[in-house]
């Protein structure tokens, strides 16, 4: 799901505070001493020199770490190129003052925001320093299309799907997602507490997203679904009352209601109606890093994600940037 933590001054901070995944060459094991059975025939020593000194198994030569930066095949030697969409929405990216060109709303290069922090944590595990990381703009929908990529890996809230995985490599998950519904205040949808009660309302979502899949397969409305090229376009449609509800992932819903759909005093004009239950198990929706199909980096990227998960880095990043503190009740069936 392409989504968009709110950085709209102290009012936004207060709103959130109050409410709110190359094969390594393995050295051959040391030869073990195999006892000779007592029934084995004795073998005469060769006429050559017979050594009476103890034999020592040869030590294998050190094997280079295939996931070390120097051993990785990247788009540019000595650099790690990371792609994302633009605008780079909070809470996934945080703004700089000003944002460097071409970035809008957020600056991936400042290591602030959930996905920027994740990207630099993975880069560090791969052995790249921040000055060895380069960013490139790639539209969300283009990231998982078949063909050559201008990036080593990409992140922009791309949820894993089997269909996408046929065209690109998708990493282990780095965030597990709940979808949610946003409605303008005063719309009757705002008071609905069950999924069954939503069927007669008009919904919209960004094209090609799991939010659209949620509308189609979970809500299954009796009215047609409106599809938009971007979340910004969908938000404008919501504000213009062309749709009753917008489906986005939960962190995006926090940002929309705390920073985008607000009046001049940052009073919210929209609310989070509720969130859908998060799936558990192997089919749980999660964000993946995108790599070219068959990329030699995929195994190393997965190892990096496993490492930042095991040492608590990923949990700390998630807590810092995506702590679920807003009022978003779980929708009943």
Question: Is 203 in the same domain as 241?
Answer: yes
CB 200 within 8 A of CB 310: no
| Max Cα–Cα distance, the chain, nearest Å | 100
* 61-65, 87-91, 166-170, 266-270: least confident range: 61-65
Q: Is residue 317 in a domain?
A: yes
Question: Is 168 in the same domain as 241?
Answer: no
Tell the burial category of 233 from Cβ atoms under 10 Å away from its Cβ (0-12, 13-18, 19+): middle
Supply the pLDDT for residue 291: 98
Question: Is 78 in the same domain as 151?
Answer: yes
Question: Is 151 in the same domain as 297?
Answer: yes
Supply the pLDDT for residue 327: 65
Residue 311: pLDDT band with limits 50, 70, 90: very high
Half-sphere exposure (CA, 13 Å, Cβ side) for 184? 18
Q: Is residue 49 in a domain?
A: no
DSSP 266-281: --BSEEEEEEPPPP-S
pLDDT in tens, 157-197: 999 999 999 999 999 999 988 899 999 999 999 999 999 99
Residue 280: pLDDT band with limits 50, 70, 90: low
* 133-137, 162-166, 319-323: least confident range: 319-323
CB neighbours of residue 185 within 10 Å: 12
CATH number at residue 97: 3.40.190.10
Q: Is residue 59 in a domain?
A: no
Q: Is residue 280 in a domain?
A: no
Q: Is residue 242 in a domain?
A: yes
Tell the burial category of 109 from Cβ atoms under 10 Å away from its Cβ (0-12, 13-18, 19+): buried
DSSP 28-41: PPPPP-PPPPTTSP
Half-sphere exposure (CA, 13 Å, Cβ side) for 285? 19
Q: Is residue 138 in a domain?
A: yes
Question: Is 106 in the same domain as 214?
Answer: no
Residue 196: give the domain boundaries. Answer: 179-275
Average pLDDT taken over every residue of the chain: 83
Residue 2: pLDDT band with limits 50, 70, 90: low
Question: Is 159 in the same domain as 308?
Answer: yes
Domain count, the chain: 2
Question: Is 75 in the same domain as 213?
Answer: no
Question: Is 79 in the same domain as 153?
Answer: yes
Supply the pLDDT for residue 47: 36
Supply the pLDDT for residue 178: 87
Q: Is residue 157 in a domain?
A: yes
Question: Is 14 in the same domain as 124?
Answer: yes
Question: Is 13 in the same domain as 101?
Answer: yes
Q: Is residue 31 in a domain?
A: no
Residue 248: pLDDT band with limits 50, 70, 90: very high
Question: Is 208 in the same domain as 118?
Answer: no
Supply the pLDDT for residue 63: 58
């Amino acid at each position: 799901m392409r989504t968009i933590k709110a950085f709209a001054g102290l009012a936004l901070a207060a709103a959130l505070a109050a409410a709110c995944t190359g094969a390594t060459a393995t050295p051959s094991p040391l030869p073990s001493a195999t006892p000779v059975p007592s029934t084995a025939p004795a073998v005469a020593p060769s006429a050559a020199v017979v050594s009476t000194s103890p034999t020592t198994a040869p030590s294998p030569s050190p094997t280079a770490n295939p996931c070390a930066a120097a051993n990785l095949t990247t788009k540019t030697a000595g650099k790690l190129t990371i792609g994302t969409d633009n605008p780079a929405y909070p809470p996934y990216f945080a703004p700089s003052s000003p944002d460097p060109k071409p970035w809008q709303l957020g600056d991936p290069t400042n290591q602030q925001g959930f996905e920027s922090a994740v990207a630099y944590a993975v880069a560090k595990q791969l052995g790249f320093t921040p000055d060895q990381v380069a960013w490139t703009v790639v539209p969300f929908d283009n990231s998982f299309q078949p063909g050559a990529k201008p990036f080593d890996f990409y992140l922009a809230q791309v949820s894993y799907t089997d269909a996408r995985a046929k065209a690109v490599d998708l990493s282990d998950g780095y965030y597990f997602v709940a979808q949610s519904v946003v409605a303008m205040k005063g719309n009757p949808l705002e008071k609905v507490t069950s999924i069954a009660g939503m069927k007669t309302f008009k919904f919209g979502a960004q094209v090609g997203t799991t939010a659209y899949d949620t509308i189609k397969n979970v809500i299954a409305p009796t009215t047609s679904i409106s599809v938009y090229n971007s979340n910004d376009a969908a938000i404008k449609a919501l504000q213009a009352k062309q749709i009753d509800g917008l489906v986005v992932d939960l962190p995006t819903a926090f940002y929309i209601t705390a920073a985008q759909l607000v009046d001049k005093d940052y009073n919210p004009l929209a609310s989070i109606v509720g969130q859908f239950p998060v799936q558990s198990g192997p089919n749980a929706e999660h964000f993946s890093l995108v790599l070219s199909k068959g990329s030699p980096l995929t195994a190393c990227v997965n190892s990096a994600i496993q490492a930042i998960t095991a040492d608590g880095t990923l949990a700390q990043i998630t807590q810092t940037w995506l702590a679920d503190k807003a009022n978003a009740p779980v929708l009943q069936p």
